[in-house]
Structure 1
Amino acid sequence: MATTPRPAARGAEQTHPDDPRADLRWGTTGALLADAARRLGDAEAIVDDGVRLTYAELDDAATAMARGFLAAGLRKGDRVAIWAPNSARWVVAALGLQRVGGVLVPLNTRFKGEEAAFVLGKSRARFLCTMTEFLGRDYPASLAEAAGGPGDGGPYAGLPDLEQVVTMSGGPRDGLVTWEDFHAAGAGVTASDVERRAAEVGPDDLSDMMFTSGTTGNPKGALCTHGQVLRAYAVWANVVGLREGDRYLIVNPFFHGFGYKAGWLASLMVGATILPARTLDVPRVLQTVRDERVTVLPGTPTLYQTMLEHPDFSAEGVASLRLSVTGATNVPPALLYRIKEELGFEHIVAGYGLTEACGIVSMCRYDDPLEVVTTTAGHPLPGLEVITVDSQGRPVPAGAEGEILVGGYVVMKGYFGEESETAAAVDSDGRLHTGDIGVIDADGRVRITGRIKEMFIVGGFNAYPAEIENILGRHPAVAQAAVIGVPDERMGEVGIAFVVPRRDARVGEAEIIAWSRDHMANYKVPSRVHIVDELPLNAAGKVLKNTLLDRLATRPDGN
C-alpha cells in the first residue's frame, strides 16, 4: 500500500515515496520527541511519583541530558548503559543519549554485580546511569565488587571502557557523578551544539543494544537502529489500538522491549501519558489505575491474576481500563476470559516477539475475538515475511509445524562483536532463524508450539538454561548442571536444576538455591534442585533434557 510522506520533524530525514523508509515520519527518537513536543506541548508526557512532565518539558529535559553527555565526551556510537528501575529519569536519560548518537544498553534490574559487569564489559559501555539503592541493593557497590574493587585503577578497574557512572538518585560518593552535577557540567554546551549532533544521527544509526542469550550461555547484544525500531512500534501501536490521550501504566520493566519499545517509546509516538511503575506492587498498581484513570495496562497473566485476587480490588476502581497487551507466557483461556470480564478491558491482545526482531514479530489486532487471542499470537506485522520451515530449511504448508523464520525491517543488524553467532542466527537472505517452533494457519496467524532453543519464561522474564548452567558451574561443589523449564501455575514457567556434585563434595538443594540467590537474578534461580549421580547423555555427549523431563513426569509430585 502506498504511503504519503509527511513533513519531517526537526532533525528527521526527508524521504522519497519510493524510498523503503518512506513510511518513517521521524527517523530518530530525537526527532520523534521534538515533533511530539511541538504538536502536544502542554499535554502530560510522564507522571511519576509526584513528577509531572509535559511533552515540552520532557523535550527540554532530554536536551539537558544530551548536553551533559556531550560535555562528558560522548561520541556518536558510544554505548551508554542504564541500570535502574522504571522512572521518568530513565526515559530522560535514554532520550538524551539517543538524541546525540549514543546507543542505549539497558541492564536488568535483577542482575547481580557480576552479571551487570559482563554486559558492561561486553558492550564496552563508556557511561552508566544507575541507582545507589533499589530494593535494598546498592548497584554501584555490587558492580565495584564484581569489577575488581577499589585500588589504583579505581572502583571499576575491571571495566576499562567505563569512564563515568552517573547516579540517578542519592548524594555524592567516590566514583559517582550525581544527576545534578552531571547536568551542571553540561551547562556550557549550547542547544545549538545538541542540534548539530542530533542532525548527524539518522535512521540507519544504532539506537540500542539489548542483551539476550542463547546456546552458548553468554549474553549477546542485539543491535537495532532508530529507523527499524520506530517503524516497528509505529505499526505496533496502530495494530493494538494505542491512541492519543491514553494513560499507559507501564509495569513491564524498561530494560525489556515490552516496557521500553512497546511502552514509553510507543506512548511518545501516539501522544499517550507514560506512568512508570518501579515494581510489581499490586496495591500501588490498583491505586494508580484508580487515581490516574489508567486506560492501558499491559502485563503478564501473573499481574492480572494477582490483581483479581487482591483484597483492594474493585470493579469500580478499574473501570477506566480499556486495553490489555499480554503474551509473555501461554495464557490459559479461562484466565483471559476472567480478565476481560472482571477487569473490564474492552480489548485484550497477545503477541510474539524476540529481542533479535526488535522485540516484535506478530500481534493480535485490538478487534480480534477473544478466541483468537487465547489460541494464537496473531498475524505478522504488516511488511514482515514470516514463514515456517522443516529441518532442511524447506517451507512447510499452512497448519504444519516448523521453525519460524522472520524477514523484514525488524531483524537485528547483528550481535555486537559476534560474527559467527550473527551468521548462525541471520541467514544470507536476511531471515532471522528464531529457534521457535510454530504453525502458521490458513488465515496467516502464528501459533507457537515449542522451542528449539530451551529458553523458558518466568513471570515475563526470559530465562536461558545455558546461562544458568554456566553460573551453577561456578559453585565449588558442582561438577555438572542441567536446567529445564517446567510449567508453573503462578509464574508461567520455572526452572528446575539437575546437579552432579564434584567428586568427594557434599551439597544439598537448599545450599544450591541459597548460593544461586547470591549469584544470579532471582528469576533465574531454580525453584527445585535435584542432586544426581550423572546426567543422561547422547552419543555426542549432549544432555538429553527430554529424558530429564520424563523423569520429572514419573515423580509422584511432578517435581
Structure 2
Amino acid sequence: MSRTIAGALRGAAEQYADRTAVVDGDLRISYGELHERVRDVARALLAEGIEKGDRIAICAPNGHEWIEAALGAAYIGAVLVPVNTRYTGPEIVDLLVRTRSRAFVVAGPFLGVDRLDLVVDTAGGLPGDIVAVFRLPDWNEVPARGAHVTDAELDGAAAAVAPDAPSDIFFTSGTSGRSKGAVSTHAQTLANAANWAELVGVTDADRYLIASPFFHIFGYKAGILAALQHGAAIYPAQTFDVVRTFELIQRERISILPGVPTVHQMMLDHPARADYDLSSLRAATTGAATIPVVLIERMRDELRYDRVLTAYGLSEAPVVTMCREDDAPEVIATTSGRAVRDMEVRVADDGEILVRGPNVIAEYFEDPAATAKAFGADGWFHTGDAGSMDEAGNLRITDRIKDMFTNGGFNVYPAEIEQVIARIPGVSESAVVGVPEPRLGEVGKAFVVLTAGRELTEEAVIEHCREFLAGFKVPRSVEFVSELPRNATGKVLKRVLRGEPDPAAGEKR
C-alpha cells in the first residue's frame, strides 16, 4: 500500500479509474477524473510559488473542492491546515498567523458569513505570509492558474515527498487554553485511515456519506482517505438534515454512515423513516458521547446495520482502539474496543490512558515544550484521558482529565473559554464545565466571580463569548458566584460545579 498521499491517489486512479470517487450534488467525479483535478490544484499551487513544507489552510464546508484542495496540497508535499468553518475572525487569523500559511482556500458565503471578508476585516488585510488565495466561487479557474506548469515539474515535486514528511496539522486545544498543532506524516495519516477502513470493512462497492466536517480529523482521515484507499464513493454532506439524508440513502444506496449518537437517534426517531428504503445501510461508527446500549441495539435491529462500531482516538493518534464486528451491544456501547493494528494502549497507575505506536504523532507544531510534556521517556504518549481496561483489552473512558466536553460532536475545551471570559472588565475569575443537554450531549455553563463592586449580566458574558468564539464553544448559561470551590492545593473542583458527588466520601460517581 502507498505511503504517500500522492501515491495512494495514483494507485486509486489506476485501480478504480472509472469508478465513482465523489458525488457532490449533481457533480459526479470518477477516480481517474479526481486524480486529474487534484493535479490541476497541485499545478496551481506550484505556479503560486508553494513549495514542499509550506502550510495550506482550508476554511470551507464539505465538498469536492475541499477534497481536491487537500489532496492537491499533499500531492506536492505542502502541509494541510484545516480550519473550522464555525471559527470567528480572530480564531481563523490566529491559525493563519501561527502556521505562517502560504495559501488560503476559502469558501464564499456559507451559513451567512463570507470568511475571506471576515479574515480581512479582522487582520486589516491578508496575513503577511499568504501569497495565494483560492475562493470556492472561482474554483473553475484553478486549472488556468497552473496551466504553464509541466507534467515533469509536477511529477518531480510529487516524487520528492517522502512517507515521513508532514502531511497535515490538526489543532487541538489543551487544558492551558492554547491550541496545539498535532503534526502527522503521510505514512501515519494513511495508516490510521487504513486501520479504520479495515475494521469497518470498506470496499470499492461502498457509498460513503461523510457528515463529519472535513476539517475534523475523522472527516478527513477516516472519511476521505479511508474511502480513497479502497475505492469507495464519497458523498460529502455540508449539514445534516434527516429527510434529505433519507432521500440520499434511498436514491444513491448509501452503505456507510458514521456519525455521533445524535445523528442515529434522529434517524431512528423520525416519523418519516418508514417511508424510505434504507436497506442499503450496512456499516456505521459512532462515539463522541456516552452511548445507550439500546441505541446500538436499535441501530442493528431497526436500521439493519451489519456493523455498528465505536472507537477511541484523538488528534495525536486518530485511531487508537475500535470495537469489532462481532462484539456484543454492551461492549460497543460501554467501551471503545481494543487496540488497533500497530498500536499499544495501557492505563497508568494514576488511571491515565497512555498510547504508543508508529501512528502516534512525533511532535506538536513548533512547540517543543508541549511535545516533551506529552511524551514520556519510554515513548508513551500521555492522552490526558482517564480510563480502565477489561481482561479482553476493551478500553473504557472513565473521566476527562482535560475537562473537555462534547457539544454536538465537537470537542470543547473550557480553558479556552475561560481565557475569553477573563478579558471581560469586572471578571475576577471563571470556570466552565459541560452540563447535560438532550440534543447536543453537553453544553457549556460558566461560573463567574466578579470583582468587588462590579455588575455584569448573563447576556453580556454570552455576547462577549460570541464575538471571540465559535458558536459551539459559547456557554449557554452563566451563574455568578461569590467564589469557586477549590481543594487544599487551590485547584478548582469542577466536579463540584458539575454537581457530582465527592468520590472521597465513598459515593458512586
TM-score (norm 2): 0.95
Give the deviation of 1:162 after TM superposition. 2.2
Counterpart selection for 1:423 from 351, 372, 380: 372
Equivalents in 2 of 1:440, 1:485: separation in Å? 25
Equivalents in 2 of 1:440, 1:141: separation in Å? 49
Summarize the alignment of residues 198-347 of structure 1 with structure 2, pairs less than 5 Å apart: 198-314=158-274, 316-347=276-307
Equivalents in 2 of 1:365, 1:75: separation in Å? 41
**Count of aligned pairs between the two proteins:** 502
CA contact (8 A) 1:473 1:480 kept: yes
CA contact (8 A) 2:48 2:131 kept: no
Match status 1:410 vs 2:410: no
Q: Which runs of 5+ in 2 are unaligned?
A: 503-509
Equivalents in 1 of 2:287, 2:203: separation in Å? 20
Counterpart in the other structure of 1:73: 49
CA contact (8 A) 1:403 1:435 kept: yes
Secondary structure, aligned partner of 2:175:
coil
Give the deviation of 1:549 after TM superposition. 2.2
Counterpart in the other structure of 2:77: 101
Counterpart selection for 2:476 from 527, 530, 555: 527
CA contact (8 A) 1:241 1:366 kept: no
Match status 1:453 vs 2:402: yes
CA contact (8 A) 1:439 1:449 kept: yes
Equivalents in 2 of 1:550, 1:493: separation in Å? 14
Equivalents in 2 of 1:214, 1:297: separation in Å? 30
Equivalents in 2 of 1:470, 1:527: separation in Å? 17
Secondary structure, aligned partner of 2:110:
coil
Secondary structure, aligned partner of 2:295:
helix
Equivalents in 2 of 1:51, 1:261: separation in Å? 23
Secondary structure, aligned partner of 1:317:
coil
- From the superposition, tell whether residues 59 and 146 of structure 1 become closer, same or farther in structure 2 (CA, over 3 Å): same
Counterpart in the other structure of 2:146: 186
- From the superposition, tell whether residues 552 and 138 of structure 1 become closer, same or farther in structure 2 (CA, over 3 Å): farther
Give the deviation of 1:500 after TM superposition. 1.9
| CA offsets 1:198-249 (integer angstroms, 9 cap, x no match) | 0000110001000001021011100000001112221221112222210000
Q: Which runs of 5+ in 1 are unaligned?
A: 1-24, 150-154, 170-177, 392-401, 554-559
Secondary structure, aligned partner of 1:209:
strand
Counterpart in the other structure of 1:196: 156
Counterpart in the other structure of 2:20: 44
Give the deviation of 1:282 after TM superposition. 2.1
Counterpart in the other structure of 1:3: none
Identity %: 45
Give the deviation of 1:508 after TM superposition. 1.6
- From the superposition, tell whether residues 287 and 476 of structure 1 become closer, same or farther in structure 2 (CA, over 3 Å): farther
Secondary structure, aligned partner of 1:360:
strand
CA contact (8 A) 1:86 1:278 kept: yes
- From the superposition, tell whether residues 229 and 514 of structure 1 become closer, same or farther in structure 2 (CA, over 3 Å): same
Letter in 1 for 2:465: S
| CA offsets 1:58-109 (integer angstroms, 9 cap, x no match) | 0000000000000001111010011011001100000001000100010111
Equivalents in 2 of 1:53, 1:273: separation in Å? 9
Letter in 2 for 1:550: G
Counterpart in the other structure of 1:22: none
Give the deviation of 1:528 after TM superposition. 1.6
Summarize the alignment of residues 126-137 of structure 1 with structure 2, pairs less than 5 Å apart: 126-137=102-113
| CA offsets 1:409-438 (integer angstroms, 9 cap, x no match) | 121121111111111111222211001111
Match status 1:32 vs 2:16: no
Match status 1:544 vs 2:493: yes
Counterpart in the other structure of 2:335: 376
Letter in 2 for 1:384: M
CA contact (8 A) 2:260 2:409 kept: yes
Equivalents in 2 of 1:512, 1:317: separation in Å? 47
Letter in 2 for 1:313: R
Letter in 1 for 2:66: W
Equivalents in 2 of 1:509, 1:374: separation in Å? 37
Match status 1:166 vs 2:142: no
Give the deviation of 1:477 after TM superposition. 4.0
Secondary structure, aligned partner of 1:195:
helix
